[in-house]
Amino acid sequence: MYFKNIAFTIILIIFTFPAFAQKIYSLNGVITDAQTGETLIGASVKLSGVKQAGTTTNAYGYFSISLPQGTYDLAITYVGYKAIIKKIDLNANLKLDFSLEPAAQLEEIVVSSVKRNDNVTNPQMGVEKLDVKDIKSIPVLFGERDILKTLQLLPGIKPAGDGNSGFYVRGGAIDQNLILLDEAPVYNASHLLGFFSTFNSDAIKDVTVYKGGMPAQYGGRLSSVLDIRMNDGNKNDFTAEGGIGLISSRLKVEGPIQKEKSSFMISGRRTYADAFLAFAPDTSLRGNTLFFYDLNAKTNFKLNDKNTLYISGYFGRDKLGLNQAFGFDWGNTTATLRWSHIFSNRLFSNTSFIYSNYDYVIENQLEGNDFKVSSIIRDFNLKQDFQYALNNHDIRFGINAIHHTIEPGRITASENSSVNPATVENRRGLETAIYVSDEWKASDKFNLAYGLRLSSFALLGAGNFKEYDSDGNEINSTFYSAGELVKTYFNLEPRLSASYQFNENKSVKGSYTRNTQNLHLMSNSTATSPTDIYILSSNNTRPEIADQVALGYFSNFKDNTYEFSAEVYYKWMQNQIEYRNGTDLRGNQNVEADLLYGDGRAYGIELFLKKRFGDFNGWIGYTLSKTERQFDQINNGKWFNAFQDRTHDISLVGIYKASKRWTLSSTFVYNTGNAITVPEGKYQLGGTTVFYYSERNAYRAPDYHRLDFSATLEGKPGKKYQSSWSFGIYNVYNRKNVFSLSYEENPNNPAQTQIVKTALFGIIPSVTWNFKF
């Protein structure tokens, strides 16, 4: 058993640390932005002398590195900042904090002699980091900067639909992405029925996405981890920035509470599409509402050199109302309380208490039939994470416990209504995990990141828990009282990735990852939908399991100006879920009776070429892939294409700094149409045409392609107050891309049937005014 071998290796490493004879000292500290005091995530720390070593700062800007006694050249670098290069004598444990000055021009960094080739040396693969600066200059729908839509321009990450913020990673489903905002899971990351993401990019500091090879501290979803960190708030000065756009306006305020010790950041956004409705010539439109708002807030207190406290939160809400007939609102709430503590110069600890909530309410106000449906998923989450640096090892271990409460549906109605009040039983579950991982620089050429995560899931009472046979018939029902264990699952998840460097600019990497998932989305839509409900693993629904192997070649050239990578992957998925025909999810107590379980597989190759510096930068991504499913009861048990199977996927991104004030950018995307099921025959029932289908998803929707432009004009520099204009054109050549397809009778000739496509977004111009002072 390879699990045992890995566990043994980890134990061996942990217990052999004290055995080094040479005097080893550690250097640790925090790296911050000199202007805002904001900690920098992923800044590079390199030492060369008796030995060569390097590390990067963690999510809290903290780094720790251990080396033999001696004199070293220290280089601290971070994209967009001036490097710090100095000599240090390491003859005792040292704590050194650094502040980096932002560079006015990106080119200055290239001039520094420091090589930035982390993408080549780091054993981690399948990882992409988004530069928040890139997000600001890449064109998107309605000029609304959007992290999730910018992510979809990377290879292996594909949008759920035109203009949709939902995404598929390497052939997985939408619910198989773990989306974390300051460690808190966000259950429905979209606004306005999927067209905007819940993440206001003003409030975001860092975005990292793992498509495979997830480090052991992450778990709970099959496909990807999207780790989003909010800004901490400017520790030195008060600043305000914001923007007025076509769809929404934004405002962010940040500043110190106590200089250099504590700060706050608060950022809000609201759309006003409905404000225009008030001026609608059609008076009946005026009674409708349609808007969303969200609020991000964060504050931090540096208690002393060793202790920092962070409190952050998100609150967002969408509201949709139709005169006096219909109302619908939904939103996420998250809160994170985090305590970072430095035990010693080698041991860094992070304790977090996290709350997540997603809920929706649908209201029907039709007289005599009024009702209200509400649904909630709520988590309490405790995380304890340790990072221990020793010599060539970067060790991480910890525990995580999440308690889930799901209220799938509660129906209430007035006394005059013909609708009966009803409640689908609540479900509770406890997900726990312990993990340990080590990033080991085994030699100058060989790096290894390996870890093990033991995850468990316990389904808890109270309630009636049923079991169903393969036809969905109930075979037994047992009542469990509150807190009683209904079902427990344990899963061992090995994580392994390794890199071998041929030279400074070329490496190969390989990885193997197992992920499991105990929270399963029951969606009412192919895209992200506000009425999403979740179910937990149970007697009927087993944990979803994915095993992924990946192999990659990484190369930088022209002094690290260009990055190239090629990754191939193969993923096996077990216990995937589909619905039986005629499943009704609304207020359904026995939804599991309607589920089918099967397998999935996904494989592909992703090519990526990026130019990182210069007046012109950007990237080209190409993915060739396949993703399929197999269910005994579907398609006669034969493998069929998943809906999101898109053979070819190309994205081009170009950003050009035309002058000191003008930045131009453009994106082009192309992908093969979704795999769809098209009727091959038809028949009539009582005079109505009904379609006959044979194979599932055997046809293709038309190809998708789109070109977008955007231009940003910065205000004259040097003033206290800065402003900029952003102009954008979405879908420049007005391509009518498919939003949905329907099969209909020809209205002019009912004997003839036809396929009708609906295209949602044609050419859409946008303009946004941004300010900062």
Partner 1 sequence: MRNNINILGFLSILAFTSCEEVIDIETKEQEPVVVIEASITDRTERQTIYLSQTVPFNQSFQTVPLRSATVRVTETGGPTLTFTEDQPGVYRSTIFKGGYGKTYNLSVTVNGKTYTATSKMPNKVSLDSLSVSEVTFFGETRKYVKVHYQDPVNEVNAYRYILSINGERLKDFFIDSDRFNNGNYVDNTIFNDEPEIKAGDEIMIDFQNITPEIYRYFFAITQIEGNGGPPVAPSNPDTNLSNGALGYFSTHTSDKRVFRVR
Residues 356-395 close enough to bind partner 1 by CB under 8 A: 362, 364, 366, 368-369, 371
C-beta closer to partner 1: residue 409 or 621: 409
Spell out the residues 6+ positions from residue 576 whose beta carbon is closer than 8 angstroms to its own: 173, 544, 597, 598, 599, 600, 629, 631
C-beta closer to partner 1: residue 270 or 506: 270
Give the C-alpha separation, 414 to 412, whole Å: 7
| Position among 278, 680, 733, 769 found at the interface with partner 1 (CB under 8 A) | 680
Indicate whether 16 belongs to the interface with partner 1 (CB under 8 A).
no
Listing DSSP states for 4-62 in one string gives HHHHHHHHHHHHHGGG--S-EEEEEEEEEETTT--B-TT-EEEEEESSEEEEE--TTSE
Indicate whether 586 belongs to the interface with partner 1 (CB under 8 A).
yes
Distances, alpha carbon 749 to alpha carbons 684, 686, 742, 745, in Å:
15, 18, 17, 7
C-beta closer to partner 1: residue 1 or 751: 751
Place of tokens 């991982």: 437
The answer to whether the peptide bond before residue 462 is cis (omega within 30 degrees of 0) is yes
Site string for partner 1, 110-149 (x = CB under 8 A): ----------------------------------------
Tell me the β-bridge partners of 5. Answer: none
Q: What is the DSSP letter of 149?
A: H
C-beta closer to partner 1: residue 142 or 348: 142
Q: Which residue spans within 303-421 are E strands per DSSP? A: 307-322, 326-342, 347-364, 371-390, 393-412
| Position among 488, 682, 769, 773 found at the interface with partner 1 (CB under 8 A) | 682
Residues in the chain: 773
Give the C-alpha separation, 441 to 67, whole Å: 12
**Strand 84-90's sheet: what is its strand order?**
52-56, 44-49, 70-77, 84-90
Site string for partner 1, 618-647 (x = CB under 8 A): ----------------x--------x----
Q: Residue 2 phi/psi, 5° resolution?
A: -70, -25
Reference 626, options 606, 608, 646; nearest CA is: 646
Q: Point out which span in 1-9, 96-104, 380-388, 742-750 binds partner 1 (CB under 8 A).
A: 742-750
Q: Point out which span in 33-41, 147-155, 474-482, 692-700 binds partner 1 (CB under 8 A).
A: 692-700
Site string for partner 1, 187-216 (x = CB under 8 A): -----xx-x---------------------
Interacting residues with partner 1 between 245 and 274 (CB under 8 A): 273
C-beta closer to partner 1: residue 309 or 760: 760
C-beta closer to partner 1: residue 102 or 750: 750
C-beta closer to partner 1: residue 692 or 721: 692
| Position among 2, 15, 279, 683 found at the interface with partner 1 (CB under 8 A) | 683
Burial profile 655-679: b = 16 or more Cβ within 10 angstroms, e = fewer = bbbeeeeebbbbbbbbbbbbbbbbe
C-beta closer to partner 1: residue 235 or 706: 706
| Position among 636, 762, 769, 773 found at the interface with partner 1 (CB under 8 A) | 762
Q: Point out which span in 37-45, 280-288, 548-556, 605-613 binds partner 1 (CB under 8 A).
A: 280-288
Give the C-alpha separation, 347 to 385, whole Å: 10
C-beta closer to partner 1: residue 609 or 759: 759
Give the C-alpha separation, 438 to 521, whole Å: 33
Interacting residues with partner 1 between 556 and 585 (CB under 8 A): 578-585
Indicate whether 330 belongs to the interface with partner 1 (CB under 8 A).
no
Interacting residues with partner 1 between 296 and 325 (CB under 8 A): 320, 322-323, 325
Distances, alpha carbon 174 to alpha carbons 126, 696, 748, 749, in Å:
18, 20, 39, 40
Q: Are 69 and 63 spatial neighbours (Cβ–Cβ below 8 Å)?
A: no
C-beta closer to partner 1: residue 265 or 527: 527
| Position among 102, 483, 637, 750 found at the interface with partner 1 (CB under 8 A) | 750
Tell me the β-bridge partners of 342. Answer: 348
Indicate whether 420 belongs to the interface with partner 1 (CB under 8 A).
yes
| Position among 326, 512, 656, 670 found at the interface with partner 1 (CB under 8 A) | 326
Q: Point out which span in 58-66, 129-137, 493-501, 699-707 binds partner 1 (CB under 8 A).
A: 699-707
Indicate whether 426 belongs to the interface with partner 1 (CB under 8 A).
no
| Position among 19, 688, 718, 719 found at the interface with partner 1 (CB under 8 A) | 688
Indicate whether 693 belongs to the interface with partner 1 (CB under 8 A).
yes
| Position among 522, 593, 664, 669 found at the interface with partner 1 (CB under 8 A) | 522
**In angstroms, what is the minimal distance from the CB of 402 to partner 1?**
26
| Position among 358, 761, 766, 768 found at the interface with partner 1 (CB under 8 A) | 761
| Position among 758, 767, 769, 773 found at the interface with partner 1 (CB under 8 A) | 758
- In the three-class reduction of DSSP (H, G, I as helix; E, B as strand; rest coil), residue 74 is classed as strand
Distances, alpha carbon 333 to alpha carbons 185, 187, 297, 520, in Å:
10, 10, 12, 20
Q: Point out which span in 9-17, 74-82, 560-568, 757-765 binds partner 1 (CB under 8 A).
A: 757-765
Indicate whether 275 belongs to the interface with partner 1 (CB under 8 A).
no
C-beta closer to partner 1: residue 257 or 366: 366
Distances, alpha carbon 684 to alpha carbons 56, 692, 750, in Å:
66, 10, 12
Total binding residues for partner 1 by CB under 8 A?
Answer: 91
C-beta closer to partner 1: residue 369 or 503: 369
Give the C-alpha separation, 516 to 219, whole Å: 7
Reference 233, options 261, 203, 258, 264; nearest CA is: 264
Residue 210: how many CB atoms within 10 A of its CB?
A: 21
| Position among 18, 473, 686, 716 found at the interface with partner 1 (CB under 8 A) | 686
Element (H, E) at 453: strand 446-460
| Position among 16, 304, 470, 742 found at the interface with partner 1 (CB under 8 A) | 742
C-beta closer to partner 1: residue 553 or 691: 691
Longest dimension (CA), the chain: 90
Site string for partner 1, 396-415 (x = CB under 8 A): ---------------x----
**In angstroms, what is the minimal distance from the CB of 755 to partner 1?**
5
Indicate whether 528 belongs to the interface with partner 1 (CB under 8 A).
no
Q: Point out which span in 32-40, 73-81, 479-487, 679-687 binds partner 1 (CB under 8 A).
A: 679-687
| Position among 18, 685, 717, 721 found at the interface with partner 1 (CB under 8 A) | 685
Spell out the residues 6+ positions from residue 20 whose beta carbon is closer than 8 angstroms to its own: 391
Q: What is the DSSP letter of 119?
A: H
Indicate whether 658 belongs to the interface with partner 1 (CB under 8 A).
no
C-beta closer to partner 1: residue 102 or 762: 762
| Position among 16, 113, 418, 748 found at the interface with partner 1 (CB under 8 A) | 418
Burial profile 365-399: b = 16 or more Cβ within 10 angstroms, e = fewer = beeeebbbbbbbbbbebebebbbbbbbbbbbbbbe
Interacting residues with partner 1 between 89 and 108 (CB under 8 A): none
Q: Are 296 and 265 spatial neighbours (Cβ–Cβ below 8 Å)?
A: yes
Q: Point out which span in 176-184, 331-339, 493-501, 697-705 binds partner 1 (CB under 8 A).
A: 697-705
| Position among 526, 539, 630, 724 found at the interface with partner 1 (CB under 8 A) | 526
Indicate whether 681 belongs to the interface with partner 1 (CB under 8 A).
yes
**Strand 127-130's sheet: what is its strand order?**
127-130, 204-210, 224-230, 177-181, 184-185
